Each structure stands twice: as C-alpha cells, then as structure tokens.
Structure 1
Amino acid sequence: MSEHSIAGKKVAFLLTDGVEQIELTSPWEAVKEAGGEPTLVALSKGRLQGFNGTEKGDTFDVDLTAAEADASEFDALVIPGGVVNADHLRVDKDAQKFTRSFFEQHKPVAAICHGPWLLIDAGVIRGRKVTSYHTLQTDLKNAGANWTDEEVVVDQGLVTSRSPKDLPAFNSKVVEEISEGQHAGQTA
C-alpha cells in the first residue's frame, strides 16, 4: 500500500493499441491501491490490444475517447509506453490537446518508456528535465528537453521513467505527485 493517499482523485490513462501492458497495469494498480480512480482514455471506443514486448497480451475496455475526455474532470494523467502505442498517440490531435490541457491546468503528468514522445508533439517538453527509453533521447533533446538517464525523474509534477524495470520507482512517484496536487511549475 502506498504511503500517499489519493482517495477520490481521478486519473486518466491515455493509450491506444500496442501499449506495453505492464506499463498500463502496474501504474493502474498503484493508483487503485492508493485510493485513486483510474479511467482508460483512448483514440477510439471499444477494446485495446496490450502487448508484452512483441507478443499480444490482454485487451482492455476503453472508458472515454481523447476527443470526448476533458482534462478538467481529472486530477492527473498517465501515459504508458509501447512503441506502437506512443507512435499513434503522438500524431493524434485529440491526444495532444488532452495532454497539453493537463500542463495548462498545472496537474501532474506521468510518462514512461516511449510515452514521452507525445509530450514533444503536445508542445510541453521544452526546458523540462526528463528521462525515457534511451532511443527517444535525441528526439527529446531536439525538442528542448534536458534528458538524463535515471530510473525516475520528477520535474514540477512531470514524472518520467525509462522502462518496465523502473516501474516500482515510477509508480511511487506517480502516486506521490498526484497526492501533492497541482504544481505551479507544471506549465505548457
């Protein structure tokens, strides 16, 4: 059980087909265990296909689409990774707008592995200290981020991690930042 309570806090998980399953399910469970209410937000309605590496995993029911979701109804955003998932999210205008809204409202945002790719296209990464899967470092640096190779990085409510091996530290910081609430330095 987390030392931080986020009872009653609503947390959006933004993803699509190709999500790295453990990067969805592990933070989702951490949010639930701390009393939070996770909601699956995706690009389209229906069910999404998770993956364990290159192997198909479970499917997950979509609660809301990014087009119909409103960041003002949530307390935080989590963006799981997975190459295919992240590549589709980053070019979707609704996903970009939804993500950017959390920064504009100074709310915590967490992205792991390939998830930070979306932050580039949402226009919220310049000047922020982040980490990610190592193959994204050039993209993030070119977008103006201060990339570092660390287990978990927290910058004014923005939580980033590198890969599934970092999930324990990532989950802990996600719950901690949500419990702290809005961060004045979390801006678009």
Structure 2
Amino acid sequence: MSNQRSLDGKKIAILATNGFEQSELVKPKAMLEQQGAQVEVLSIEGQSKITAWDEDNWGVDVDVDAHVEDANPADYDALILPGGQINPDVLRVNESAVSFIAKAHKEARIKAIAAICHGPWLLVESALANNATLTSFPSIKTDLENAGATWVDEEVVNDGKLVTSRNPDDIPAFVNKVIELVA
C-alpha cells in the first residue's frame, strides 16, 4: 500500500447488515487492521453475525461488535459503508443507521465517511449527498444526481469528509484515502 501510515490508536466503524458485498467489508477491514486500526463492525439491532453477498451467492459470516443503536459516532475516527445492493438498501430504511451516519458527519473526531459501490445510497438518505462530488457504482448515478450530488466516474473521490469509490477494484485507492485522512 502506498502512503504507509500508522493507524495505531485509531478506531474505525464499518456499518453493515446482511447482504454486504463481501470484498467491500472484508478487504478494507483487513487493510485498516494491518495499519494498526481497531475496526468494529456495527449492525442493526438483533444481529450478532451478518452474512456477506459474494458476487452471486451468500458468502462469509462476520461477527458484529456492536449495534448501531448503542454506538456513539464520537468513539470513532472514521466510518466505512460497504456496498452490495442488499446491504445499503436495508440500512437506508433503518432510522438508527441513517441517524448514526448523519451524526458521524457532524462529529469532529470523524475524519472520513467512506462509501463504496451502492454504499453512497446511505449518503443520500442521511442528506449528505446534496452539493457533494461523489462516485459510486454506475447504476446509482441518477439517484445521487437527483439528491443534489455531482457524480464523477473516478476510482476514488474525496469531498470534505466524504470518500467514495465505484466497486471492489477501487478498494486499494479507497482504503488509502481513508488512511490519508485518518492518520
């Protein structure tokens, strides 16, 4: 990874539920932990494990460290929002998840809110897309534009605290941008 920086003492949340794109949670989590970050998986009430979607079938189970209802954005340095179609679609109708994302954006300690693939749907729902320059999986370009965003087709886009990427191929650039903002 370029820009090798230590994330020792940094705490990063990944907000996900069943149906997250496997590579978009597992790879960033591993890459951030390799840099010394403590990474916690947050999910919605009642889930102690969540199951990935891996390209065309169900994938690995991931342990949930805390429920978003009980989590405080002030405890984290960054928030990661994996994509997949199912995961953000379920989370964007969950009041606790949407509220957490909106509060995270206002929280001074949080240096990055990073959404990949369909994850930017959550930026729309939490009213963070308006007037932001973002990227995403191409199929939600119109959703982002309708929410007031300027959509661009780039590997990684950084607008203030917001970091967005298009798909799993962009994960290295996506994680490097989070590291740059948090380190």
Residue in 1 that maps onto 2:179: 175
Q: Distance in 2 between matches of 1:168 and 1:143?
A: 27
Offset of residue 51 of structure 1: 1.4
SS at match of 1:57: strand
Shift of 1:168: 1.2
Determine whether 1:36 maps to 2:40. Answer: no
Equivalent in the alignment of 1:148: 152
Mapping 1:1-40, distance limit 5 Å: 3-40=4-41
TM-score when normalising by structure 2: 0.94
Three-state SS of the structure 2 residue aligned to 1:110 is strand
User: How far has the Cα of 1:176 moved from its partner?
Assistant: 1.0
CA contact (8 A) 2:105 2:161 kept: no
Q: 1:102 aligns with which of 101, 104, 114?
A: 104
CA-atom RMSD in angstroms: 1.1
Paired residue type of 1:125: A
Shift in Å, 1:119: 0.7
Report the residue type matching 2:107 in the other structure: Q
Instruction: Measure the CA separation in 2 of the matches of 1:150 and 1:48.
Output: 30
Q: Does 1:161 align with 2:162?
A: no
| Unpaired segments ≥5 residues, structure 2 | none
Matched position secondary structure for 1:6: coil
Aligned mates of 1:47, 1:3 — CA distance in 2: 31
What is the match of residue 185 of structure 1?
none
* SS in structure 2 at match of 1:41: strand
> How far apart are 1:157 and its partner, in Å?
2.2
- State the identity %: 40
Moved over 2 A (4+): none
